[in-house]
Structure 1
Amino acid sequence: MLILLTMLLMGLLLGFIGAGGAGSIIAILTIFFGIPIHTALGTSLLAMVFTSLSGTYSHFRERNTILSVGLATGIFGAIGGFTGSQLSYLIPADNLKWLTASMLFLSSLLLAIRVFRGFGVFADSQPEIPSPNSFKFWAAAVGVGIITGILSGLFGIGSTPFIQIGLLTFFGLTIQQSAGTTMLVILPIALMGGFGYFTLGFIDIKLFIEVIGGTVIGSYIGAKFTSRLHLLILKIAMISVPAAGGLILLFGH
Protein backbone atom coordinates (compact mmCIF):
# COMPACT_ATOMS: atom_id res chain seq x y z
CA MET A 1 0.00 0.00 0.00
CA LEU A 2 2.88 2.38 0.79
CA ILE A 3 4.40 1.81 -2.65
CA LEU A 4 0.98 2.36 -4.25
CA LEU A 5 0.42 5.68 -2.45
CA THR A 6 3.96 6.84 -3.23
CA MET A 7 3.45 6.04 -6.90
CA LEU A 8 0.15 7.95 -6.91
CA LEU A 9 1.95 11.09 -5.75
CA MET A 10 4.72 10.49 -8.29
CA GLY A 11 2.12 10.07 -11.03
CA LEU A 12 0.56 13.46 -10.26
CA LEU A 13 3.93 15.16 -10.67
CA LEU A 14 4.97 13.16 -13.73
CA GLY A 15 1.72 13.81 -15.56
CA PHE A 16 2.12 17.53 -14.91
CA ILE A 17 5.63 17.77 -16.38
CA GLY A 18 5.03 15.24 -19.18
CA ALA A 19 7.43 12.59 -17.91
CA GLY A 20 7.39 8.82 -17.72
CA GLY A 21 9.45 9.20 -14.56
CA ALA A 22 11.36 5.93 -14.59
CA GLY A 23 14.52 7.59 -13.25
CA SER A 24 12.79 9.05 -10.21
CA ILE A 25 10.77 5.87 -9.63
CA ILE A 26 13.96 3.79 -9.82
CA ALA A 27 15.58 6.01 -7.20
CA ILE A 28 12.61 5.67 -4.83
CA LEU A 29 12.24 1.91 -5.28
CA THR A 30 15.97 1.25 -4.91
CA ILE A 31 16.71 3.48 -1.93
CA PHE A 32 13.47 3.54 0.07
CA PHE A 33 12.08 0.10 -0.70
CA GLY A 34 15.28 -1.91 -1.22
CA ILE A 35 14.49 -3.19 -4.73
CA PRO A 36 17.58 -4.44 -6.67
CA ILE A 37 18.45 -1.81 -9.28
CA HIS A 38 18.19 -4.04 -12.36
CA THR A 39 14.71 -5.15 -11.25
CA ALA A 40 13.77 -1.54 -10.48
CA LEU A 41 15.04 -0.49 -13.91
CA GLY A 42 13.09 -3.11 -15.83
CA THR A 43 9.87 -2.86 -13.83
CA SER A 44 9.83 0.95 -13.87
CA LEU A 45 10.53 1.13 -17.58
CA LEU A 46 7.72 -1.30 -18.43
CA ALA A 47 5.37 0.51 -16.04
CA MET A 48 6.04 3.70 -17.99
CA VAL A 49 4.02 2.27 -20.87
CA PHE A 50 0.85 2.58 -18.82
CA THR A 51 1.83 5.82 -17.10
CA SER A 52 2.63 7.41 -20.45
CA LEU A 53 -0.54 6.04 -22.06
CA SER A 54 -2.66 7.70 -19.39
CA GLY A 55 -0.72 10.95 -19.55
CA THR A 56 -0.65 10.96 -23.37
CA TYR A 57 -4.42 10.65 -23.59
CA SER A 58 -4.90 13.43 -21.07
CA HIS A 59 -2.37 15.69 -22.81
CA PHE A 60 -3.97 14.97 -26.19
CA ARG A 61 -7.33 16.12 -24.86
CA GLU A 62 -5.61 19.25 -23.56
CA ARG A 63 -4.15 19.79 -27.09
CA ASN A 64 -0.54 19.61 -25.88
CA THR A 65 0.45 16.74 -28.20
CA ILE A 66 1.90 17.02 -31.74
CA LEU A 67 1.06 13.58 -33.15
CA SER A 68 3.37 13.59 -36.18
CA VAL A 69 6.40 14.47 -34.07
CA GLY A 70 5.56 12.05 -31.26
CA LEU A 71 4.85 9.04 -33.48
CA ALA A 72 7.88 9.49 -35.75
CA THR A 73 10.31 10.03 -32.89
CA GLY A 74 8.79 7.22 -30.84
CA ILE A 75 9.21 4.64 -33.61
CA PHE A 76 12.96 5.18 -33.76
CA GLY A 77 13.09 5.50 -29.99
CA ALA A 78 11.67 1.97 -29.67
CA ILE A 79 14.64 0.59 -31.61
CA GLY A 80 17.06 2.39 -29.32
CA GLY A 81 15.12 1.35 -26.21
CA PHE A 82 15.38 -2.38 -26.91
CA THR A 83 19.06 -2.06 -27.84
CA GLY A 84 19.89 -0.18 -24.64
CA SER A 85 18.05 -2.67 -22.43
CA GLN A 86 20.16 -5.54 -23.78
CA LEU A 87 23.36 -3.62 -23.06
CA SER A 88 22.39 -2.80 -19.44
CA TYR A 89 22.90 -6.42 -18.39
CA LEU A 90 26.63 -5.93 -18.94
CA ILE A 91 26.85 -3.13 -16.32
CA PRO A 92 27.34 -4.14 -12.62
CA ALA A 93 24.60 -2.93 -10.25
CA ASP A 94 26.83 -0.50 -8.31
CA ASN A 95 28.14 1.10 -11.49
CA LEU A 96 24.64 1.28 -12.95
CA LYS A 97 23.41 3.18 -9.89
CA TRP A 98 26.08 5.87 -10.30
CA LEU A 99 25.65 6.06 -14.07
CA THR A 100 21.88 6.44 -13.79
CA ALA A 101 22.26 9.18 -11.18
CA SER A 102 24.81 10.99 -13.36
CA MET A 103 22.50 10.87 -16.36
CA LEU A 104 19.66 12.31 -14.28
CA PHE A 105 21.87 15.21 -13.15
CA LEU A 106 23.07 15.85 -16.70
CA SER A 107 19.57 15.82 -18.10
CA SER A 108 18.42 18.26 -15.42
CA LEU A 109 21.30 20.64 -16.20
CA LEU A 110 20.75 20.56 -19.97
CA LEU A 111 17.02 21.05 -19.57
CA ALA A 112 17.60 24.03 -17.26
CA ILE A 113 19.80 25.64 -19.92
CA ARG A 114 17.21 24.99 -22.61
CA VAL A 115 14.10 26.26 -20.86
CA PHE A 116 15.70 29.30 -19.22
CA ARG A 117 18.50 30.28 -21.61
CA GLY A 118 18.07 28.42 -24.89
CA PHE A 119 20.66 26.90 -27.20
CA GLY A 120 22.09 29.17 -29.88
CA VAL A 121 19.48 30.67 -32.23
CA PHE A 122 16.70 29.13 -30.16
CA ALA A 123 17.52 31.31 -27.16
CA ASP A 124 15.58 34.32 -28.42
CA SER A 125 12.97 32.86 -30.77
CA GLN A 126 10.60 29.96 -31.18
CA PRO A 127 11.48 28.11 -34.43
CA GLU A 128 8.78 26.78 -36.73
CA ILE A 129 7.87 23.09 -36.49
CA PRO A 130 9.35 21.35 -39.59
CA SER A 131 6.98 19.64 -42.04
CA PRO A 132 6.70 15.81 -41.87
CA ASN A 133 7.58 15.84 -45.57
CA SER A 134 10.96 17.50 -44.95
CA PHE A 135 14.39 15.95 -44.47
CA LYS A 136 14.86 18.04 -41.32
CA PHE A 137 11.82 16.45 -39.71
CA TRP A 138 12.96 12.86 -40.25
CA ALA A 139 16.61 13.60 -39.43
CA ALA A 140 15.45 15.03 -36.10
CA ALA A 141 13.11 12.07 -35.50
CA VAL A 142 15.87 9.52 -36.16
CA GLY A 143 18.49 11.37 -34.13
CA VAL A 144 16.34 12.22 -31.12
CA GLY A 145 14.57 8.85 -31.16
CA ILE A 146 17.61 6.55 -31.41
CA ILE A 147 19.78 8.46 -28.93
CA THR A 148 17.10 8.92 -26.27
CA GLY A 149 15.89 5.35 -26.78
CA ILE A 150 19.33 3.90 -26.08
CA LEU A 151 19.74 6.12 -23.01
CA SER A 152 16.33 5.05 -21.76
CA GLY A 153 16.92 1.33 -22.23
CA LEU A 154 20.47 1.42 -20.90
CA PHE A 155 19.86 3.47 -17.76
CA GLY A 156 16.12 2.90 -17.34
CA ILE A 157 15.52 6.63 -16.97
CA GLY A 158 12.93 7.17 -19.67
CA SER A 159 15.13 10.00 -21.00
CA THR A 160 12.31 12.49 -20.54
CA PRO A 161 14.55 15.58 -20.22
CA PHE A 162 16.62 14.52 -23.23
CA ILE A 163 13.48 13.94 -25.29
CA GLN A 164 12.10 17.31 -24.21
CA ILE A 165 15.37 19.04 -25.11
CA GLY A 166 15.28 17.38 -28.54
CA LEU A 167 11.66 18.38 -29.16
CA LEU A 168 12.27 21.94 -28.00
CA THR A 169 15.50 22.41 -29.95
CA PHE A 170 15.09 20.41 -33.17
CA PHE A 171 11.32 20.47 -33.65
CA GLY A 172 10.60 23.92 -32.22
CA LEU A 173 7.81 22.83 -29.89
CA THR A 174 6.63 25.05 -27.04
CA ILE A 175 7.20 24.01 -23.42
CA GLN A 176 3.62 22.74 -23.13
CA GLN A 177 3.77 20.90 -26.47
CA SER A 178 7.09 19.35 -25.47
CA ALA A 179 5.59 18.06 -22.21
CA GLY A 180 2.60 16.50 -23.96
CA THR A 181 4.45 15.09 -26.99
CA THR A 182 7.20 13.58 -24.84
CA MET A 183 4.71 11.25 -23.21
CA LEU A 184 3.74 9.92 -26.66
CA VAL A 185 7.41 9.41 -27.57
CA ILE A 186 8.00 7.50 -24.33
CA LEU A 187 5.28 4.93 -25.09
CA PRO A 188 7.11 2.81 -27.70
CA ILE A 189 10.49 3.39 -26.00
CA ALA A 190 9.18 2.08 -22.69
CA LEU A 191 7.38 -0.82 -24.37
CA MET A 192 10.43 -2.13 -26.21
CA GLY A 193 12.86 -1.30 -23.40
CA GLY A 194 10.62 -3.04 -20.87
CA PHE A 195 10.30 -6.05 -23.15
CA GLY A 196 14.07 -6.18 -23.35
CA TYR A 197 14.35 -6.32 -19.54
CA PHE A 198 11.60 -8.95 -19.49
CA THR A 199 13.67 -11.21 -21.75
CA LEU A 200 16.50 -10.87 -19.21
CA GLY A 201 14.26 -11.78 -16.24
CA PHE A 202 14.24 -8.37 -14.53
CA ILE A 203 10.47 -7.79 -14.23
CA ASP A 204 8.74 -8.14 -10.83
CA ILE A 205 5.02 -8.59 -11.61
CA LYS A 206 3.73 -7.69 -8.13
CA LEU A 207 5.88 -4.55 -8.04
CA PHE A 208 4.83 -3.74 -11.59
CA ILE A 209 1.13 -3.79 -10.61
CA GLU A 210 1.77 -1.57 -7.58
CA VAL A 211 3.71 0.96 -9.65
CA ILE A 212 1.17 1.28 -12.46
CA GLY A 213 -1.74 1.27 -10.01
CA GLY A 214 -0.58 4.59 -8.60
CA THR A 215 1.15 6.28 -11.52
CA VAL A 216 -1.57 5.76 -14.14
CA ILE A 217 -4.23 7.51 -12.05
CA GLY A 218 -1.86 10.23 -10.91
CA SER A 219 -0.47 10.86 -14.38
CA TYR A 220 -3.91 11.40 -15.90
CA ILE A 221 -4.87 13.92 -13.22
CA GLY A 222 -1.49 15.68 -13.24
CA ALA A 223 -1.63 16.32 -17.00
CA LYS A 224 -4.69 18.50 -16.43
CA PHE A 225 -2.51 21.11 -14.73
CA THR A 226 0.19 21.47 -17.44
CA SER A 227 -1.58 24.29 -19.29
CA ARG A 228 -3.34 25.67 -16.22
CA LEU A 229 -0.48 26.51 -13.87
CA HIS A 230 2.08 29.27 -14.43
CA LEU A 231 4.79 28.43 -17.00
CA LEU A 232 7.54 29.11 -14.45
CA ILE A 233 6.16 26.38 -12.18
CA LEU A 234 6.24 23.91 -15.09
CA LYS A 235 9.85 24.82 -15.95
CA ILE A 236 11.04 24.44 -12.37
CA ALA A 237 9.24 21.11 -11.97
CA MET A 238 10.67 19.72 -15.23
CA ILE A 239 14.20 20.49 -14.01
CA SER A 240 13.75 19.50 -10.37
CA VAL A 241 12.33 15.99 -10.83
CA PRO A 242 15.38 14.36 -12.50
CA ALA A 243 17.75 16.27 -10.18
CA ALA A 244 15.88 14.97 -7.13
CA GLY A 245 16.04 11.42 -8.49
CA GLY A 246 19.80 11.71 -8.93
CA LEU A 247 20.25 13.01 -5.38
CA ILE A 248 18.20 10.14 -3.93
CA LEU A 249 20.28 7.56 -5.83
CA LEU A 250 23.61 9.09 -4.78
CA PHE A 251 22.95 9.99 -1.16
CA GLY A 252 20.00 7.83 -0.12
CA HIS A 253 20.52 4.92 2.24
Structure 2
Amino acid sequence: MIIILTMFLLGILLGFIGAGGAGFVIALLTVAFGFPIHTALGTSLAAMAFTTLSGAYSHYREKNIVVKMGLIVGISAFFSSFAGAKLAVLIREDTLHYFTAAMLILSAVCMLFKLMISKDTTDIKMKKNQVWIRGIGLGLLTGLLAGMFGVGSAPFIQLGLLIFLHLSLRQSVGTTMLVILPISIGGGLGYVTEGFVDWMLLLKVLIGTMTGAYIGAKFTNLAPKIVLKIAVIATPAVAGLLLLL
Protein backbone atom coordinates (compact mmCIF):
# COMPACT_ATOMS: atom_id res chain seq x y z
CA MET A 1 0.00 0.00 0.00
CA ILE A 2 2.89 2.37 0.76
CA ILE A 3 4.34 1.77 -2.71
CA ILE A 4 0.96 2.46 -4.37
CA LEU A 5 0.46 5.72 -2.44
CA THR A 6 4.02 6.86 -3.20
CA MET A 7 3.56 6.13 -6.90
CA PHE A 8 0.21 7.96 -6.95
CA LEU A 9 1.82 11.15 -5.64
CA LEU A 10 4.68 10.74 -8.09
CA GLY A 11 2.22 10.16 -10.93
CA ILE A 12 0.57 13.54 -10.29
CA LEU A 13 3.94 15.25 -10.70
CA LEU A 14 4.83 13.25 -13.81
CA GLY A 15 1.54 13.97 -15.53
CA PHE A 16 2.00 17.67 -14.78
CA ILE A 17 5.48 17.97 -16.30
CA GLY A 18 4.93 15.51 -19.17
CA ALA A 19 7.41 12.84 -18.06
CA GLY A 20 7.18 9.07 -17.97
CA GLY A 21 9.02 9.14 -14.67
CA ALA A 22 11.16 6.03 -15.00
CA GLY A 23 14.14 7.84 -13.47
CA PHE A 24 12.23 8.88 -10.38
CA VAL A 25 10.57 5.46 -10.09
CA ILE A 26 14.00 3.81 -10.29
CA ALA A 27 15.36 6.13 -7.60
CA LEU A 28 12.47 5.41 -5.24
CA LEU A 29 12.46 1.66 -5.83
CA THR A 30 16.21 1.31 -5.23
CA VAL A 31 16.75 3.90 -2.49
CA ALA A 32 13.46 3.82 -0.57
CA PHE A 33 12.33 0.22 -1.12
CA GLY A 34 15.64 -1.63 -1.70
CA PHE A 35 15.03 -3.30 -5.08
CA PRO A 36 18.06 -4.24 -7.29
CA ILE A 37 18.87 -1.67 -9.97
CA HIS A 38 18.22 -3.96 -12.98
CA THR A 39 14.84 -5.02 -11.59
CA ALA A 40 13.97 -1.37 -10.93
CA LEU A 41 15.02 -0.42 -14.47
CA GLY A 42 12.97 -3.11 -16.17
CA THR A 43 9.89 -2.70 -13.99
CA SER A 44 9.88 1.10 -14.24
CA LEU A 45 10.17 1.08 -18.04
CA ALA A 46 7.38 -1.48 -18.34
CA ALA A 47 5.21 0.58 -16.00
CA MET A 48 5.98 3.74 -17.94
CA ALA A 49 4.22 2.32 -21.02
CA PHE A 50 0.93 2.33 -19.12
CA THR A 51 1.59 5.53 -17.18
CA THR A 52 2.29 7.54 -20.32
CA LEU A 53 -0.78 6.09 -22.05
CA SER A 54 -2.93 7.67 -19.36
CA GLY A 55 -0.99 10.95 -19.35
CA ALA A 56 -0.76 11.16 -23.14
CA TYR A 57 -4.52 10.74 -23.52
CA SER A 58 -5.12 13.48 -21.00
CA HIS A 59 -2.65 15.80 -22.76
CA TYR A 60 -4.31 15.00 -26.12
CA ARG A 61 -7.65 16.07 -24.67
CA GLU A 62 -5.99 19.29 -23.50
CA LYS A 63 -4.61 19.86 -27.06
CA ASN A 64 -0.97 19.83 -25.89
CA ILE A 65 0.25 17.17 -28.38
CA VAL A 66 1.63 17.65 -31.91
CA VAL A 67 0.69 14.17 -33.11
CA LYS A 68 2.77 14.00 -36.32
CA MET A 69 6.04 14.98 -34.63
CA GLY A 70 5.33 12.71 -31.70
CA LEU A 71 4.82 9.69 -33.96
CA ILE A 72 7.96 10.37 -36.03
CA VAL A 73 10.15 10.62 -32.93
CA GLY A 74 8.38 7.86 -31.01
CA ILE A 75 8.37 5.12 -33.65
CA SER A 76 12.09 5.50 -34.34
CA ALA A 77 12.76 5.53 -30.59
CA PHE A 78 10.91 2.22 -30.15
CA PHE A 79 13.60 0.25 -31.99
CA SER A 80 16.61 1.94 -30.41
CA SER A 81 15.06 1.57 -26.94
CA PHE A 82 14.74 -2.19 -27.38
CA ALA A 83 18.39 -2.36 -28.49
CA GLY A 84 19.45 -0.21 -25.52
CA ALA A 85 17.74 -2.54 -23.05
CA LYS A 86 19.69 -5.47 -24.48
CA LEU A 87 22.93 -3.53 -23.99
CA ALA A 88 22.05 -2.57 -20.40
CA VAL A 89 22.26 -6.16 -19.14
CA LEU A 90 25.97 -6.13 -20.04
CA ILE A 91 26.65 -3.22 -17.66
CA ARG A 92 27.58 -3.97 -14.03
CA GLU A 93 24.94 -3.05 -11.45
CA ASP A 94 27.04 -0.51 -9.54
CA THR A 95 28.21 1.14 -12.77
CA LEU A 96 24.69 1.30 -14.19
CA HIS A 97 23.51 2.92 -10.96
CA TYR A 98 25.87 5.87 -11.41
CA PHE A 99 25.32 6.13 -15.17
CA THR A 100 21.58 6.46 -14.62
CA ALA A 101 22.07 9.12 -11.93
CA ALA A 102 24.50 11.06 -14.13
CA MET A 103 22.09 11.00 -17.06
CA LEU A 104 19.26 12.37 -14.94
CA ILE A 105 21.36 15.22 -13.56
CA LEU A 106 22.76 16.03 -17.02
CA SER A 107 19.25 16.17 -18.45
CA ALA A 108 18.24 18.69 -15.78
CA VAL A 109 21.27 20.88 -16.56
CA CYS A 110 20.49 20.79 -20.30
CA MET A 111 16.87 21.72 -19.70
CA LEU A 112 17.92 24.57 -17.38
CA PHE A 113 20.18 25.96 -20.11
CA LYS A 114 17.41 25.82 -22.71
CA LEU A 115 14.54 27.18 -20.63
CA MET A 116 16.44 29.92 -18.83
CA ILE A 117 18.83 31.14 -21.50
CA SER A 118 17.69 30.28 -25.01
CA LYS A 119 15.18 32.34 -26.96
CA ASP A 120 11.76 31.16 -28.09
CA THR A 121 11.93 29.47 -31.51
CA THR A 122 8.31 28.43 -32.01
CA ASP A 123 7.88 30.82 -34.96
CA ILE A 124 10.65 29.15 -36.99
CA LYS A 125 9.31 27.16 -39.96
CA MET A 126 10.98 23.96 -41.13
CA LYS A 127 10.90 22.05 -44.41
CA LYS A 128 9.17 18.68 -44.46
CA ASN A 129 12.41 16.71 -44.86
CA GLN A 130 13.95 18.58 -41.91
CA VAL A 131 11.11 17.48 -39.67
CA TRP A 132 11.65 13.83 -40.63
CA ILE A 133 15.44 13.87 -40.36
CA ARG A 134 15.50 15.70 -37.03
CA GLY A 135 12.60 13.69 -35.64
CA ILE A 136 14.11 10.31 -36.50
CA GLY A 137 17.53 11.35 -35.22
CA LEU A 138 16.05 12.58 -31.95
CA GLY A 139 14.07 9.36 -31.57
CA LEU A 140 17.03 7.05 -32.18
CA LEU A 141 19.26 8.89 -29.71
CA THR A 142 16.75 9.29 -26.87
CA GLY A 143 15.43 5.75 -27.33
CA LEU A 144 18.92 4.28 -27.00
CA LEU A 145 19.60 6.29 -23.84
CA ALA A 146 16.25 5.30 -22.36
CA GLY A 147 16.76 1.61 -23.03
CA MET A 148 20.32 1.50 -21.71
CA PHE A 149 19.82 3.52 -18.54
CA GLY A 150 16.19 2.69 -17.81
CA VAL A 151 14.93 6.27 -17.91
CA GLY A 152 12.41 7.70 -20.32
CA SER A 153 14.73 10.51 -21.43
CA ALA A 154 11.85 12.97 -21.01
CA PRO A 155 14.08 16.04 -20.45
CA PHE A 156 16.20 15.14 -23.50
CA ILE A 157 13.08 14.61 -25.60
CA GLN A 158 11.60 17.89 -24.41
CA LEU A 159 14.88 19.66 -25.11
CA GLY A 160 15.00 18.19 -28.62
CA LEU A 161 11.39 19.14 -29.31
CA LEU A 162 12.06 22.68 -28.11
CA ILE A 163 15.35 23.26 -29.95
CA PHE A 164 15.26 21.09 -33.07
CA LEU A 165 11.53 20.85 -33.79
CA HIS A 166 10.61 24.29 -32.39
CA LEU A 167 7.59 23.36 -30.28
CA SER A 168 6.33 25.53 -27.45
CA LEU A 169 6.96 24.49 -23.84
CA ARG A 170 3.44 23.14 -23.34
CA GLN A 171 3.51 21.36 -26.72
CA SER A 172 6.84 19.77 -25.85
CA VAL A 173 5.47 18.60 -22.49
CA GLY A 174 2.42 16.97 -24.06
CA THR A 175 4.20 15.55 -27.12
CA THR A 176 6.91 14.05 -24.91
CA MET A 177 4.24 11.94 -23.21
CA LEU A 178 3.30 10.53 -26.63
CA VAL A 179 6.95 9.86 -27.55
CA ILE A 180 7.68 8.07 -24.28
CA LEU A 181 4.89 5.55 -24.94
CA PRO A 182 6.73 3.60 -27.73
CA ILE A 183 10.06 4.13 -25.96
CA SER A 184 8.79 2.45 -22.81
CA ILE A 185 7.17 -0.38 -24.79
CA GLY A 186 10.39 -1.09 -26.69
CA GLY A 187 12.62 -0.84 -23.63
CA GLY A 188 10.17 -2.75 -21.47
CA LEU A 189 10.07 -5.64 -23.97
CA GLY A 190 13.86 -5.71 -23.95
CA TYR A 191 13.98 -6.05 -20.16
CA VAL A 192 11.13 -8.59 -20.12
CA THR A 193 13.06 -10.89 -22.47
CA GLU A 194 16.04 -10.65 -20.07
CA GLY A 195 13.90 -11.50 -17.01
CA PHE A 196 14.25 -8.14 -15.22
CA VAL A 197 10.57 -7.30 -14.62
CA ASP A 198 8.91 -7.93 -11.23
CA TRP A 199 5.25 -8.39 -12.18
CA MET A 200 3.73 -7.84 -8.72
CA LEU A 201 5.80 -4.71 -8.24
CA LEU A 202 4.77 -3.59 -11.74
CA LEU A 203 1.10 -3.85 -10.78
CA LYS A 204 1.60 -1.68 -7.68
CA VAL A 205 3.54 0.95 -9.63
CA LEU A 206 0.85 1.01 -12.33
CA ILE A 207 -2.07 1.48 -9.96
CA GLY A 208 -0.42 4.51 -8.40
CA THR A 209 1.23 6.23 -11.36
CA MET A 210 -1.57 5.81 -13.93
CA THR A 211 -4.14 7.37 -11.62
CA GLY A 212 -1.82 10.19 -10.62
CA ALA A 213 -0.58 10.95 -14.17
CA TYR A 214 -4.11 11.46 -15.50
CA ILE A 215 -4.89 13.92 -12.71
CA GLY A 216 -1.55 15.73 -13.00
CA ALA A 217 -1.93 16.39 -16.73
CA LYS A 218 -4.99 18.52 -15.96
CA PHE A 219 -2.78 21.11 -14.23
CA THR A 220 -0.29 21.69 -17.08
CA ASN A 221 -2.38 24.40 -18.75
CA LEU A 222 -3.44 25.94 -15.44
CA ALA A 223 -0.03 26.47 -13.86
CA PRO A 224 2.10 29.60 -14.49
CA LYS A 225 4.91 28.95 -16.97
CA ILE A 226 7.61 29.63 -14.36
CA VAL A 227 6.17 26.87 -12.13
CA LEU A 228 6.17 24.43 -15.06
CA LYS A 229 9.78 25.33 -15.89
CA ILE A 230 10.95 24.78 -12.32
CA ALA A 231 9.15 21.42 -12.11
CA VAL A 232 10.57 20.20 -15.43
CA ILE A 233 14.14 21.02 -14.29
CA ALA A 234 13.89 19.94 -10.66
CA THR A 235 12.31 16.51 -11.17
CA PRO A 236 15.22 14.74 -12.95
CA ALA A 237 17.76 16.58 -10.78
CA VAL A 238 16.18 15.32 -7.55
CA ALA A 239 15.87 11.78 -8.96
CA GLY A 240 19.56 11.79 -9.93
CA LEU A 241 20.63 13.01 -6.50
CA LEU A 242 18.55 10.28 -4.83
CA LEU A 243 20.36 7.64 -6.87
CA LEU A 244 23.76 9.10 -5.99
CA LEU A 245 22.87 9.00 -2.30
Query: Same fold judged by TM-score > 0.5?
Result: yes
Q: Residues 52-91 of structure 1 correspond to what in structure 2 (within 5 A)?
A: 52-91=52-91
CA distance in structure 2 between the aligned counterparts of 1:224 and 1:127, rounded to whole angstroms: 26
Aligned residues: 245
Match of 2:32, as an amino acid?
F
Aligned alpha-carbon RMSD (Å): 0.9
Amino acid of the structure 2 residue aligned with 1:128: I
What pairs up with 1:143-158 in 2 under 5 angstroms? 143-158=137-152
Tell me if structure 2 keeps the 8 A contact 1:129–1:173. Answer: no
Deviations 1:23-60 (A, max 9, x none): 01100000100000000000000100111000000000
Residue in 1 that maps onto 2:102? 102
Q: Which runs of 4+ in 1 moved over 6 A?
A: none
The answer for the alignment partner of 2:239 in structure 1 is 245
* Pairwise CA distance, 1:126: 2.8
Q: Is the 8 A contact 1:129 1:171 kept in 2?
A: no
Check conservation: 1:81, 1:189, Cα contact below 8 A: yes
Q: Does 1:19 align with 2:15?
A: no
* 5+ residue gaps, structure 1: none
Partner of 2:166: 172
- Give percent identity, aligned residues only: 52
How many Å separate the matches in 1 of 2:122 and 2:7? Answer: 35
2:122 to 126, 138, 151: 126
Uncovered stretches (5+) of structure 2, i.e. residues with no partner: none
SS in structure 1 opposite 2:218?
helix
Using the size of structure 2 for normalisation, the TM-score is 0.98
Check the 8 A contact 2:191/2:197 in 1, yes or no.
yes
Tell me how far apart the structure 1 counterparts of residues 129 and 210 of structure 2 sit (CA, whole Å): 36
Distance 2:93 2:117 in 1: 36
CA distance in 2, matches of 1:198, 1:208: 12
Q: TM-score, normalised by structure 1?
A: 0.95
Partner Cα distance (2:163, 2:129) in 1: 16
